[in-house]
Structure 1
Amino acid sequence: MRFIILLFIVIPAIEIGLFILSGKTIGVLPTVGLIILTGIVGAYFAKKQGLEALRRVQNELRSGIPPGNAMLDGVCILAGGLLLLTPGFLTDIMGLLLLLPVSRYAMRPFLLKLIKKWISRKQIYIYR
């Protein structure tokens, strides 16, 4: 429930405040241009890295290796691309962190721990 409040109330309120601050600081047109630019760049990088992650998953499956890290990277790339397409500076920063391989690698242990916690609480089911 706390996550939903954060997602639908707090983050948009912060984004609106950042839009107002940016509009006052650099102007309205540069702010709108920056939002459009981050959306275009986000779509490009998400597509490029998403296809690379898909190839890694396919290669690992062909080799008989479970594609755990490659699939986690794919999910991070998808989420990062969606966040970059969402208008806002805070979501752009979060999306960029999910798209950059260095920060994804640093976040991987936290994400794996979170997924294991969800599985142990039966919030995620794995069907075999």
Structure 2
Amino acid sequence: MFFRLFLIFLIVPVIEIYLIIKIGQVIGGVATVASLLFMSLLGAWLMRHQGGRVLGEIRDELSRGRLPAAQLLDGALVFVGGVLLTTPGFFTDFLGIFFLIPATRRYIKLWLGLWLQARIARGGFVMRRHF
């Protein structure tokens, strides 16, 4: 797990720097910075809009006396999308917007469900209680 995180924190900045340089060569430095700022502002707006919608859905489910599991997962994905959009770069911006759009978020939830089922089926999760 530590090695995977190390690779992510090593590879993602390299990808970001590479993309910023290549896009900057094509559209220019000012346009590159402007597009990064625009993506951040768009992401902040999307996060606020989607986050508010998810909070409303959580409140609705709780008022009906049901556990808002799907809505909590939506909220976590919106949060991850917002965090990705706060990091400068085109790669993380693309991933962040992918997490914030409801249609693409559905695919992420589907993939997470399949991944969790596979992990549980092969005994990948062990519950330990420490008292």
The TM-score range, normalised by the shorter chain, is 0.7 to 0.9
> Letter of the aligned partner of 2:16 in structure 1?
E
**Residues 1-128 of structure 1 mapped to structure 2, 5 A cutoff:** 1-115=2-116, 117=119, 121-122=125-126
Aligned residues: 125
Q: TM-score, normalised by structure 1?
A: 0.87
- Say which SS state the counterpart of residue 53 (structure 1) adopts: helix
- Say which SS state the counterpart of residue 51 (structure 1) adopts: helix
The 2-side partners of 1:61 and 1:113 are apart by 26
- Say which SS state the counterpart of residue 12 (structure 2) adopts: helix
RMSD: 2.2
Question: How far does the alpha carbon of each residue in 1:44-89 deviate from its partner, in whole angstroms, 9 at most, with x for none?
Answer: 1101110110110111011011111111111111111111121011
Specify the structure having the higher radius of gyration (Cα): 2
Q: Could you list the runs of 4 or more consecutive aligned residues of structure 1 that deviate by over 6 angstroms after TM superposition?
A: none
The 2-side partners of 1:77 and 1:3 are apart by 23
The 2-side partners of 1:49 and 1:27 are apart by 32
Q: TM-score, normalised by structure 2?
A: 0.85
Moved more, 111-120 or 35-44: 111-120
Q: 1:114 Cα deviation (Å)?
A: 4.0
Q: 1:7 Cα deviation (Å)?
A: 2.4
Native 8 Å contact 1:38 1:85 kept in 2: no
> Letter of the aligned partner of 1:35 in structure 2?
L
Task: Give % identity.
Answer: 32
The 1-side partners of 2:40 and 2:18 are apart by 19
> Letter of the aligned partner of 1:85 in structure 2?
T
The 2-side partners of 1:36 and 1:96 are apart by 14
Residues 115, 51 of structure 1: alpha-carbon distance in 2 compared, 3 angstrom cutoff:
farther
